[in-house]
A and B are shown apart, each in its own frame.
Chain A
Amino acid sequence: MKEWPLWEVFIRSQHGLAHKHVGSLHAPDAEMAINNARDVYTRRNEGVSIWVVKAADIVASSPGDKVPLFEPANNKVYRHPTFFPMPEEVKNL
């Protein structure tokens, strides 16, 4: 038998927060995926909104590329406010 596709599940835990990945499940279609996600991942009021995305449709960075991919940010410490020492007597900076 053909296996049900895999879906990744994202839940907004409260109004005002972003959706967060919580896990995955199998379902024959998107509607069933939402229904199953409700039963599996929100049995204790964990969410106010659900997204499901077919796992096959997710494009991810590869762990092998980690160093070159994130390197550009590593040598730019001046992007952080702590890079600039401030005189103690000056307030609200």
Chain B
Amino acid sequence: MSLYAQQVDTGVTRVQSAEEMSPEERAFQERIDAGIKIEPKDWMPEAYRKTLIRQISQHAHSEIVGQLPEGNWITRAPTLKRKTVLLAKVQDEAGHGLYLYGAAETLGVTRDQLYEDMLAGKLKYSSIFNYPTASWADVGAIGWLVDGAAIMNQIPLCRCSFGPYARAMTRICKEEAFHMRQGYDLMIALSQGTPEQKQMAQEALNRWWWPSLMMFGPPDADSVHSAQSTRWKIKLFSNDELRQRFIDQTVPQAEYLGLTIPDPTLRWNEERGHYDIGDIDWEEFYNVLKGNGPCNRDRLRTRAKAWEEGAWFREALVAHAEKQEQRKANREQAA
């Protein structure tokens, strides 16, 4: 699996044939093949339910952890305009997390449990958020590249087989377009600024280019769970296909900025009608995935701290609600 939900285990080692399926499983697959959405109360194979819980919750966690790299720059945004835009964007990410936790909860899990599993390291989030934001230009590069890559993956998911996930993705995609544009707008401003500012933009592109390409997940040949997810229509295009589309879309955008993609082997392949790129360092990808990226520990520590230090507040709101409820009951009794 790719993007905000990486390496989602489908719990199966190979795709079942129609003969191996139970009558219920066959009816379920036929429904998916006919393009009819699955809704939470419909019968579904346990593996489909579990895979979706993992995929949607990883996606939700990515939105929440994804607030951190950019949140890092809110207090130091160079102008009030950039600051309000960045605040709105980071607030959107919280909203996206919330839509997705809501979609996951329709499958019979609770948000608090999913969240605690993430804090305990049992559920993952996208490894792209384990990279640091070294300069203000990284905020632009994230909007342009990371959100751009996310949109590439998420637009097809608006048509995925599970109704609540598809509906959440539709809302998210509308808002992501703002995220990508504000990032590119920031990159334009820096690229057309002083030589130092342009240098900042180039360095940010250098830092985020390869990790953005890794967001699409390992090459198709190594993507073990893709076949089943594709069959279930919770994955609609292959990792390599989406990665290629992203490269083809992004190279001309970098050219407009007058920036250089940090890949000396990058060139247009007339025959294929696509750009060819150099080798991706998959060892780095797996290493970050395993928890050894530059910020893995820091990200989880920050999230755990906020969760723990906010506990008294969440509890106080419950106590307040219960007290109001009790008062109302007393008043009704007295009347």
Residues in A with CB closer than 8 Å to B171 are 22-23
A6 x B105 contact (CB < 8 A) = yes
A22 to B102, CA, bound (A): 11
A75 within 8 A of partner (CB): no
A19 to B106, CA, bound (A): 21
Interface residues of A in 4-35 (CB under 8 A from B): 4, 6, 22-26, 28-29, 32
A15 to B6, CA, bound (A): 42
A1 x B311 contact (CB < 8 A) = yes
A40 x B95 contact (CB < 8 A) = yes
B317 x A32 contact (CB < 8 A) = yes
The one of B88, B105, B318 that contacts A24, using a Cβ cutoff of 8 Å: B105
A3 x B110 contact (CB < 8 A) = yes
Q: Is the interface of B mostly helix, strand, loop or mixed?
A: helix
Residues in B with CB closer than 8 Å to A32 are 317, 321
A25 x B112 contact (CB < 8 A) = no
B99 within 8 A of partner (CB): yes
A68 to B288, CA, bound (A): 53
A2 within 8 A of partner (CB): yes
- A64 CB to nearest B CB, Å: 8
Most buried by B among A2, A24, A25: A24
A3 to B39, CA, bound (A): 24
The one of B111, B168, B321 that contacts A29, using a Cβ cutoff of 8 Å: B321
Most buried by A among B39, B98, B324, B325: B98
- B290-326 CB contact bits vs A (8 Å, 1 = yes)? 0000000000000000000001001101101100110
Residues in A with CB closer than 8 Å to B42 are 63
A43 within 8 A of partner (CB): yes
- A42-78 CB contact bits vs B (8 Å, 1 = yes)? 0110000000000000001011000000000000000
- A59 CB to nearest B CB, Å: 12
A23 x B168 contact (CB < 8 A) = yes
A25 x B315 contact (CB < 8 A) = no
Residues in A with CB closer than 8 Å to B92 are 43
Residues in A with CB closer than 8 Å to B321 are 28-29, 32
B112 x A63 contact (CB < 8 A) = no
B98 x A1 contact (CB < 8 A) = no
A43 x B95 contact (CB < 8 A) = yes
Closest-by-CB residue of B relative to A6 is: B105
Residues in A with CB closer than 8 Å to B112 are 1, 3
- B267-305 CB contact bits vs A (8 Å, 1 = yes)? 000000000000000000000000000000000000000
Residues in A with CB closer than 8 Å to B314 are 1, 4, 28
- A7 CB to nearest B CB, Å: 10
- B315 CB to nearest A CB, Å: 6
Instruction: Knowing A3-B110, A3-B112, A43-B91, say if A60 contacts B41 (CB, 8 Å).
Output: yes
A-B contact pairs, 27 of them (CB 8 A): A1-B311, A1-B318, A4-B318, A6-B105, A23-B167, A23-B168, A24-B102, A24-B105, A25-B98, A25-B102, A28-B314, A28-B317, A29-B317, A29-B320, A29-B321, A29-B325, A32-B317, A32-B321, A39-B95, A43-B88, A43-B91, A43-B95, A44-B175, A60-B41, A62-B41, A63-B39, A63-B43
| Chain B residues at the A interface, C-beta cutoff of 8 Å | 39, 41-43, 88, 91-92, 95, 98-99, 102, 105, 110-112, 167-168, 171, 175, 311, 314-315, 317-318, 320-321, 324-325
| Chain A residues at the B interface, C-beta cutoff of 8 Å | 1-4, 6, 22-26, 28-29, 32, 39-40, 43-44, 60, 62-63
